[in-house]
Amino acid sequence: MKAQELAAAISYMTDLSPNATFLHSWRVALVAGKIAEMVAPSVKDDTFYAGLFHDIGHVGSSDTPDGFVVPNLNVLNITTKDHPIKGSNLLESIPGTAEIANFVRTHHEWLNGRGYPNGLSGRQIPFGAQILFLVDSVALSGCFERGNRISDCLKTLVQYTGKAWSSELWAAFIQSLQDNAFYKSILNDNAIGKLMAASIEEYTPPNEMATEKGIESLFTMIASLVDIKDHSTLGHSVRVAKLAKAVSASMGMSEEDTTMAYRAGLVHDSGRLGVPGQILDIPGRLSDSDMSIVRKHATITIKIFNCLPENESLVSLGNIAGHDHERYDGKGYPHHLAGKDIPVISRIISVVDAYDSMVSSGSYRLLSHRGAIVRLQQNSGKQFDPEIVEEFATLFDKNMAGIEAA
């Protein structure tokens, strides 16, 4: 799996709701990258990846709008002003992304110093960030929404030229509109995926991000985003990943499969980013209607990693991570798979996910470690694969506490 593929999936997952895919960050990245290629080729790659990540700091924000259309720049303050800082802080954990993080941190600064978070002006603002702000503003103003004419939309934005961005940058954006085929794809939800798949091969990610260490840090960041969105899951994805890797190794699975188990464990709850925060924050037992929305996270997880459908590694990851709520007896979700029809790593994650939920301090079903094992055994052959439950129980008896602390 390549870093750029995972970056595209992370960008995609930040723009989801249970019933919609906004594709805002993809559009910003693609257009910003194109403009940078025209006027500042030396920063085109970093500008593109900063576009993919520019809104990750919005994850978990209670006042993030349900859509991305606003009438003008004067009301952009309805969104959190600290999201550029939050986003750049998250990126600092990814090797080689210092410049990308800087672009994200400064992408809401205005040319005249009226922006945020630091009131920078003129050349104090990195050029890649200036490009991002222009394109983000165009997108937020609805210019890329289906049914809207870009030319009509731009009439409300031209007044900010010389204030929010330079006239030279505005001219470059207007020039870019001559590429009708490109913008036709930008406006088409069905075509933009192919454009993104081609673009991530053209824009080179930072060398350090493209290493194995960098890729693993991207997976870990996904787990962090889930924790930010749903505080009740704090540390859960990492613990599930470690346990899934331990069980798969104990079962004699290949190194490739144990790596997949670990990565699928890290992302198995990524679909929660598309579930409304006000539902995730409800304490105690949920109503049937709220629970039906939460259960959509499994389908959303699959959807996230199918964002580039030609990419087999992403699709396979999503298929495994998104089926961890299937039951061995076929009564689970999202597709009512049963028995061996459920991917084996999904069955492993199902067991360790339930175990961690039962023993974690944030769970209302809090049980002792031994009590959780007994509960798994009671549901063996119904909810869980009996062979995996037996393997897990044996591993626990050997030294599961030590594995948890690793």
238-256 pLDDT per residue, tens? 999 999 999 999 999 999 9
What per-residue confidence (pLDDT) applies to 363? 52
Give the up-direction half-sphere exposure of residue 230: CA atoms within 13 A in the CB hemisphere: 24
Q: Picking from 24-28, 76-80, 306-310, 381-385, which range would have the lowest pLDDT averaged per residue? A: 76-80
Banded model confidence at residue 362, pLDDT cuts 50, 70, 90: low
Query: pLDDT for 335-346, tens place per residue?
Result: 999 999 999 999
CATH topology of domain 230-405: Hypothetical protein af1432 (1.10.3210)
What per-residue confidence (pLDDT) applies to 270? 96
Query: pLDDT for 98-115, tens place per residue?
Result: 999 999 999 999 999 999
Quote the tokens at residue 363. 């769970």
Positions of CATH 1.10.3210.10 in the chain: 3-202, 230-405
> What rounded mean pLDDT belongs to the chain?
90
User: Cβ distance 106 to 120 under 8 Å?
Assistant: yes
- Indicate if the pLDDT at residue 153 is higher than 90: no
Quote the tokens at residue 77. 């303050």
What per-residue confidence (pLDDT) applies to 10? 97
As a whole number, mean pLDDT of residues 386-402 equals 84
| 93, containing H or E segment | none
CA distances from 93 to 151, 203, 361 (A): 40, 21, 27
Query: pLDDT for 121-148, tens place per residue?
Result: 999 999 999 999 999 999 988 888 766 6
Give the CA dihedral 388, 390, 394, 395, nearest 10 degrees. 10
Q: Specify which of 218-222, 355-359, 394-398 reaches the highest per-range mean pLDDT.
A: 218-222
Rounded to whole angstroms, the Cα distance separating 53 from 378 reads: 44
**pTM of the predicted model, to two decimals?**
0.92
Indicate the SS3 state at residue 186. Answer: helix
Banded model confidence at residue 368, pLDDT cuts 50, 70, 90: confident
CATH of domain 3-202: 1.10.3210.10
Is 328 exposed, middle or buried, given 0-12, 13-18 or 19+ CB atoms closer than 10 A?
Answer: buried
Banded model confidence at residue 365, pLDDT cuts 50, 70, 90: low
Query: pLDDT for 181-197, tens place per residue?
Result: 999 999 998 999 999 99
What per-residue confidence (pLDDT) applies to 147? 67
Quote the tokens at residue 374. 């007994």
Rounded to whole angstroms, the Cα distance separating 75 from 63 reads: 13
User: Cβ distance 189 to 147 under 8 Å?
Assistant: no
Q: What percent of the chain has pLDDT above 90?
A: 76
